Amino acid sequence: MNALGRLASAVGYPQTVPADALEFTFKVDDGEVRAIDLEKRLVLTREISRDEDDLPRLASYSAGRMLREAATLYWDERIGAAILAQEIPESATAHELKVFFETFADSCDWWLARTAAEPVESSSFPEMVIRP
């Protein structure tokens, strides 16, 4: 079983992952988590917002949160969306994969709540540059 299949099995996902799949989309809550098998590591991504006006708010939260979670928040120009991404070694145990997926899902909920909050004046945020 490949890494994506092991992840699906670890989280009890009802759909089977094709044996040769390098990407798989998990339907969660009201969205999707995309899992990508990148030789030796598994990357989870989720779209957080398609509104560029959310970027100042997201940037203001990102520094401490990203360091704590070892995650990346970036703007994908191809699809016009802010994406949250996090990775784990492909060799992780089933328990580690389950905890990783659940933690990532909780983190996505936190970020989605930030974009749903009332708008905040962007001038209240210090200027910052986010680099990949």
Ranking 4-13, 43-52, 111-120 by mean pLDDT, the lowest is 111-120
Cα 45 to Cα 73: distance, rounded to the nearest angstrom: 9
Please answer whether residues 15 and 7 qualify as being in contact, where contact means their C-beta atoms are separated by less than 8 angstroms.
Answer: no
What are the residue boundaries of the structural domains of the chain, listed by start?
3-118
Q: How many residues appear in the chain?
A: 132
Residue of 84 and 127 predicted with greater confidence: 84
What's the maximum distance between 2 C-alpha atoms anywhere in the chain? 50
Architecture of the domain defined by 3-118: 2-Layer Sandwich (3.30)
Cα 81 to Cα 11: distance, rounded to the nearest angstrom: 26
List the structure tokens of 85: 């991404």
**pLDDT, averaged across the chain:** 84
pLDDT for residue 110: 85
pTM here is 0.80
Please answer whether residues 130 and 73 qualify as being in contact, where contact means their C-beta atoms are separated by less than 8 angstroms.
Answer: yes
